[in-house]
């Protein structure tokens, strides 16, 4: 077991290799996606990887060097450090341009405030120390922190990350500060749009149980591709209904919430906490069990188990079976069943789909017909 595997296993309470058996999870991140994918696959999940954005260095390092020179000349009173990667890349760019020592000297005289522990670690790695950390690890919270001081006439340097809310910089300016910003890297749309399109198809058809997001731009990029494919409404409806959106923190969650989607978000904005939360959520909300005339029945994601025998269900059959399991033996009308399928069905198509579902199950008796009314799971009466 490598170091990342040991750390992951140690941090995951109740880890089991079958923990996510039957579930399919979409991963939208590019950077560090290998760790996330490996963690889910070790727990038995099937993972669909479709990075929506890519983190890149600034397109022109000359721009970073010019922004750095402006900050050195301004001798800022404050530095707002937002990300570990951004701080490291900024210093590397300054060193390559021959102004690294000048930059460190200027920043050493500034009051440094950091957005979170990773940014703090990067600041300390270059031999500096910070004077405080934001409470919620967001840019908004970081600006709140510096605005506790009277910044009128002060110069504030801001290390931008790939997605920075311009309104937060405007707050600093409105408070009377002079803002000098540097953008060591950018988010760009990922070049493999076909993979993103396939993930959108799976989300809209209920073919995935959860999708993870580790940055707000990843959410925006997914929405943009869906909009271009004329599937944005379907995509967002799927997230509001059966597909779980999992965001690493509140900044990442913001565009989901704005779209009326309520994602799950861990209390600690870390990858390990996100993994644990997805596991816990799917093991509770994603698993349904009933005692039936054919024996115990369980639905775990796409996997239906009847009296110990398991089969993987196709999207339409899964949607129907999930609706029947949710009713816990109550009758579900054909109209209700038609509405839960990805493309919608008429009454005859529902009957055909139920017939196919029965044929796919280890015991067809699990799904009972209620004459002229609909269907139900055959629980003992």
Counted domains in the chain: 3
Of 187, 215, 242, the position where a domain reaches its end is: 187
Q: What is the pLDDT of residues 333-366, one digit of tens each?
A: 999 999 888 777 888 899 999 999 999 999 999 9
Residues 273 and 292 in one domain: no
Residues 300 and 274 in one domain: no
Residues 72 and 36 in one domain: no
Of 161, 187, 213, the position where a domain reaches its end is: 187
Residues 170 and 247 in one domain: no
Residues 86 and 179 in one domain: yes
Kindly report the CATH number assigned to the domain that includes residue 36: 3.40.50.10090
Residues 133 and 219 in one domain: no
Domain that residue 278 falls in: 3-52+190-285
- Dihedrals φ, ψ of 18, to 5°? -110, 15
What string of H, E and C letters represents the secondary structure of the chain? CCHHHHHHHHHCCCCCCCCCCCCEEEECCCCCHHHHHHHHHHCCCEEEECCCEEEEECCCHHHHHHHHHHHHHHCCCEEEECCHHHHHHHHHHHHHCCCHHHHHHHHHCCEEEECCHHHHHHHHHCCCCCCEECCCCCHHHHHHHHCCCCCCCCEEEEECCCCCCHHHHHHHHHCCCEEEEECCEEEEECCCHHHHHHHHHHHHCCCCCEEEECCHHHHHHHHHHHHHCCCHHHHHHHHHHCCEEEECCHHHHHHHHHCCCCCECCCCCCHHHHHHHHHHHHHHHCEEEEEECCEEEEEECCEEEECCEEEECCHHHHHHHHHHHHCCCCCEEHHHHHHHCCCCCCHHHHHHHHHHHHHHCCCHHHEEEECCCEEEECCCC
**pLDDT tier at 281, thresholds 50, 70, 90:** very high
Evaluate if residue 10 carries a pLDDT over 50.
Answer: no
Half-sphere exposure of 78 (CA within 13 A, CB side): 25
Q: Which residue has the higher pLDDT, 133 or 161?
A: 133
Q: How many residues would you count in the chain?
A: 381
Average pLDDT of the segment spanning 270-299: 91
Evaluate if residue 5 carries a pLDDT over 50.
Answer: no
pLDDT at position 155 is 97
- Dihedrals φ, ψ of 192, to 5°? -95, 75
Residues 273 and 293 in one domain: no
Evaluate if residue 185 carries a pLDDT over 90.
Answer: no
pLDDT at position 164 is 59
Q: Which residue has the higher pLDDT, 5 or 317?
A: 317
Q: What is the pLDDT of residues 20-40, one digit of tens each?
A: 999 999 999 887 788 899 999
pLDDT at position 12 is 42
Q: Cα separation of 5 and 35, whole Å?
A: 8
Evaluate if residue 106 carries a pLDDT over 90.
Answer: yes
Q: Cα separation of 5 and 10, whole Å?
A: 8
Residues 264 and 309 in one domain: no
Average pLDDT of the segment spanning 281-288: 90
pLDDT at position 58 is 54
Sign of the dihedral defined by the CA atoms of residues 136, 268, 5, 287, in that order: negative
Residues 307 and 367 in one domain: yes
Of 227, 252, 285, the position where a domain reaches its end is: 285
Q: What is the pLDDT of residues 142-160, one digit of tens each?
A: 999 999 999 999 999 999 8
- Dihedrals φ, ψ of 81, to 5°? -100, 120
- Pick from 174, 134, 132: nearest CA to 151: 174
Residue 231: CB atoms within 10 A of its CB come to 18
- Pick from 59, 58, 5, 55: nearest CA to 30: 55
Evaluate if residue 252 carries a pLDDT over 80.
Answer: yes
Evaluate if residue 74 carries a pLDDT over 90.
Answer: yes
Starting at the earlier edge strand, list the strands of the sheet with 295-300: 287-292, 295-300, 303-306, 309-312
Kindly report the CATH number assigned to the domain that includes residue 359: 1.10.10.10
Is residue 243 a contact partner of residue 206, using CB atoms and an 8 Å limit?
Answer: yes
Residues 200 and 135 in one domain: no
Is residue 146 a contact partner of residue 178, using CB atoms and an 8 Å limit?
Answer: no
Residues 44 and 61 in one domain: no
Residues 167 and 86 in one domain: yes
């Amino acid at each position: 077991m490598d170091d990342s595997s040991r750390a992951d296993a140690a941090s995951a309470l109740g880890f089991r290799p079958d923990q996510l058996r039957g579930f399919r999870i979409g991963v939208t991140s590019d950077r560090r996606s290998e760790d996330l994918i490996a963690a889910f696959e070790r727990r038995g999940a099937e993972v669909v990887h479709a990075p929506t954005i890519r983190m890149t260095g600034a397109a022109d390092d000359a721009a970073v060097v010019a922004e750095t020179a402006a900050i050195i000349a301004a001798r800022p009173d404050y530095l707002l450090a937002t990300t570990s990667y951004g701080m490291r890349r900024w210093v590397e760019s300054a060193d390559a341009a021959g102004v690294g020592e000048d930059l460190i000297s200027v920043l050493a005289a500034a009051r440094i405030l950091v957005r979170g522990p990773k940014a703090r670690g990067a600041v300390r790695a270059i031999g500096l120390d910070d004077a405080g950390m934001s409470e919620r690890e967001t840019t908004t919270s970081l600006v709140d922190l510096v605005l506790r001081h009277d910044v009128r006439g002060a110069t504030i340097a801001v290390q931008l990350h790939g997605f920075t809310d311009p309104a937060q910089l405007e707050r600093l300016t409105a408070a009377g500060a002079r803002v000098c910003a540097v953008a060591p890297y950018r988010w760009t749309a990922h070049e493999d749009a076909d993979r993103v399109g396939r993930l959108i198809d799976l989300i809209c058809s209920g073919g995935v149980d959860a999708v993870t997001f580790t940055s707000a731009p990843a959410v925006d990029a997914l929405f943009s591709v869906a909009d271009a494919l004329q599937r944005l409404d379907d995509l967002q409806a799927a997230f509001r209904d059966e597909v779980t959106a999992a965001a690493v923190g509140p900044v990442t969650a913001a565009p989901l919430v704005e779209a009326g989607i309520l994602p799950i978000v861990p209390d600690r904005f870390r990858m390990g906490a996100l993994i644990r939360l997805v596991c816990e959520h799917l093991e509770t909300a994603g698993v349904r069990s009933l005692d039936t005339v054919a024996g115990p029945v369980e639905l775990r994601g796409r996997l239906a188990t009847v009296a110990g025998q398991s089969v993987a269900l196709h999207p339409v059959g899964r949607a129907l079976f999930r609706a029947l399991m949710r009713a816990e033996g109550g009758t579900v009308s054909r109209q209700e069943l038609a509405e839960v399928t990805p493309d919608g069905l008429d009454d005859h198509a529902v009957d055909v789909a139920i017939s196919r579902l029965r044929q796919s199950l280890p015991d067809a008796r699990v799904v009972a017909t209620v004459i002229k009314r609909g269907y139900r799971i055959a629980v003992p009466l």
